[in-house]
């Protein structure tokens, strides 16, 4: 059988015929089954999955306890819509999120399906509470593909294309990036300049920030930067929104990325790994802010679906009972050490960065400026796939390779992934 006649290739040909090109697929692979950190394509080829549904599968593919919770719930109530009748799992997910985010303070939650929905509704809540129009977000930030989400996103391509005009009163400012010389001090000066020249702080409803930028390149906000944002928001009556959609649920070594800086956000958006692969998102926030919209102002037909809520409760149980945070930190230490070791022998790895088990390598050209090299990054990704490792890119210039393996990955699988990456770097000429 020739490669052109494989089942994988046949299905990719059908994809080309029937699926809109606007939804990109990073790898020419059609998955048939998956378990833990492994997946197999329709022709039986095995891969190590260090993408995890783009940070969705912190508990791994098809964790038995998540699968069992889903099976049980489907047999009871698969859908009802919380806007019609309430159900216990929705209430319990909210209660647990409130405790995880708010600690001893009074927080409330509302559930949706996607991260973009969570972001949009967080903006609605902040505007409703403050009666102000303006939002400040950061260059390199990613907040979704809806029209407002794309406007908040601090990257032009591939997200904005020709989709405008975009919503008004959205302002962007630099995010710290030590590798590229954007210090905390410079970033804060730029923010203060936005206040002075573009929009007065008294007109700003919210500042939305990723404690670790995901699609922007796995840049971790310095502690002093997050604390300065908290201080400015408090001083000016601005709602501080932490977008934890990718950094949340143990990815950075704490349950949420903001916890590294010791601050308390006003609103938190969460999605991705909340429900172990099922579509569920939420906004969690201070009760007085969450209560700003009146009944009917928030919701969505599928928001907080019972099956997704059951999966989320199983995920939260796993974090409590199986010490996934500590396990993730051990894996993070091993992976970071391996990446730093590879950097010593591969000069085109300009930077190894991230926080916790949210790690990346930035690929650069062989010049003094360490110019971003997107072509090299893509070559590394393609050769890694040939070696049996799935990874994807990120960064404003798409030259950063990111690693989002489940927290349930084994040390042996980390070693195997590093070996595959080493082969890929050699073949790519890095």
**Number of CB atoms found within 10 A of residue 387's CB:** 17
According to the model, what pLDDT value does residue 287 have?
Answer: 98
d(CA 49, CA 260): 27
Residue 169 CB neighbours (<10 A)? 16
Collapsing DSSP to helix, strand or coil, 114 comes out as coil
List all residues 6 or more positions away from 214 whose beta carbon is below 8 Å from its beta carbon.
55, 142, 245, 246, 247, 358, 394, 402
Q: In angstroms, rounded to a whole number, what is the distance separating the alpha carbons of residues 385 and 393?
A: 13
- Domain segments of the chain as ranges: 3-63+323-428, 77-321
Q: Which of 135, 82, 44 is nearest to 305 (CA)?
A: 82
CATH of 3-63+323-428, one of 1.10.8.100, 3.90.1150.10, 3.30.450.40, 3.30.70.20: 3.90.1150.10
Residue with tokens 């590394």: 380
Cβ partners under 8 Å of residue 308, min gap 6: 113, 275, 278, 279, 280
pLDDT one digit per residue (tens) for the chain, 430 residues: 345 689 999 999 999 999 999 999 999 999 999 999 999 999 999 999 999 999 999 999 999 999 999 999 999 999 999 999 999 999 999 999 999 999 999 999 999 999 999 999 999 999 999 999 999 999 999 999 999 999 999 988 899 999 989 999 999 999 999 999 999 999 999 999 999 999 999 999 999 999 999 999 999 999 999 999 999 999 999 999 999 999 999 999 999 999 999 999 999 999 999 999 999 999 999 999 999 999 999 999 999 999 999 999 999 999 999 999 999 999 999 999 999 999 999 999 999 999 999 999 999 999 999 999 999 999 999 999 999 999 999 999 999 999 999 999 999 999 999 999 999 999 999 8
* CA distances to 88, 118, 143, 334, 337 from 284, in Å: 18, 9, 16, 33, 35
Could you give the CA distance from residue 84 to residue 53 in angstroms, rounded to a whole number? 31
Neighbours of 272 (CB within 10 A): 28
**CATH architecture for the domain at 77-321:** 3-Layer(aba) Sandwich (3.40)
Q: Give me the pLDDT at residue 157, please.
A: 84
Whole-angstrom distance, CA of residue 174 vs CA of residue 193? 11
CB contact at 8 A, 347 and 373: no
| Nearest alpha-carbon partner for 392 in 371, 365, 364, 361 | 361
Cα distance from N-terminal residue to C-terminal residue, the chain: 34
């Amino acid at each position: 059988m020739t490669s052109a006649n494989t089942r994988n290739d046949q299905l990719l040909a059908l994809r080309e015929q029937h699926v809109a090109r606007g939804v990109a697929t990073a790898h020419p692979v059609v998955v048939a089954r998956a378990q833990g950190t492994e997946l197999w394509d329709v022709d039986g080829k095995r891969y190590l999955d260090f993408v995890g549904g783009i940070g969705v599968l912190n508990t791994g593919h098809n964790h038995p306890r998540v699968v069992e919770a889903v099976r049980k719930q489907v047999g009871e109530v698969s859908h009802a819509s919380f806007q019609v009748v309430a159900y216990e799992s929705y209430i319990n997910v909210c209660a647990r999120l409130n405790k995880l985010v708010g600690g001893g303070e009074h927080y409330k939650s509302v559930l949706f399906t996607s991260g973009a929905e969570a972001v949009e509704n967080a903006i609605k809540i902040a505007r409703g509470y403050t009666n102000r129009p303006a939002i400040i977000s950061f260059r390199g930030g990613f907040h979704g593909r809806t029209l407002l989400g794309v406007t908040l996103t601090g990257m032009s391509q591939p997200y904005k294309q020709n989709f405008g005009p975009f919503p008004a009163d959205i302002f962007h400012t630099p995010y710290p990036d030590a590798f590229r010389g954007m210090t905390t001090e410079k970033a804060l000066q730029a923010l203060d300049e936005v206040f002075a020249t573009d929009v007065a702080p008294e007109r700003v409803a919210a500042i939305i920030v990723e404690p670790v930028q995901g699609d922007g390149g796995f840049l971790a906000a310095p502690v002093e930067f997050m604390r300065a944002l908290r201080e400015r928001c408090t001083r000016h009556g601005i709602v501080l929104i932490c977008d934890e959609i990718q950094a949340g649920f143990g990815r950075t070594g704490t349950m949420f990325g903001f916890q590294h800086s010791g601050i308390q956000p006003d609103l938190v958006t969460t999605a991705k790994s909340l429900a172990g692969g099922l579509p569920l998102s939420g906004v969690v926030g201070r009760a007085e802010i969450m209560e700003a919209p009146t009944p009917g102002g928030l919701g969505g037909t599928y928001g907080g679906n019972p099956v997704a809520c059951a999966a989320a409760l199983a995920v939260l149980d796993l974090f409590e009972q199986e010490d996934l945070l500590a396990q993730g930190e051990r894996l993070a230490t091993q992976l970071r050490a391996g990446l730093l070791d590879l950097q010593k022998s591969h000069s085109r790895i300009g930077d190894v960065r991230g926080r916790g088990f949210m790690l990346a390598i930035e690929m650069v050209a062989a010049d003094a400026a360490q110019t971003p090299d997107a072509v090299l990054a893509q070559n590394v990704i393609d050769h890694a796939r040939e070696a049996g490792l799935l990874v994807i890119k990120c960064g404003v210039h798409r030259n950063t390779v990111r690693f989002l393996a489940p927290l349930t990955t084994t040390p042996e699988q980390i070693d195997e992934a590093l070996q595959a990456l080493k082969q890929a770097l050699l073949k790519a000429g890095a």
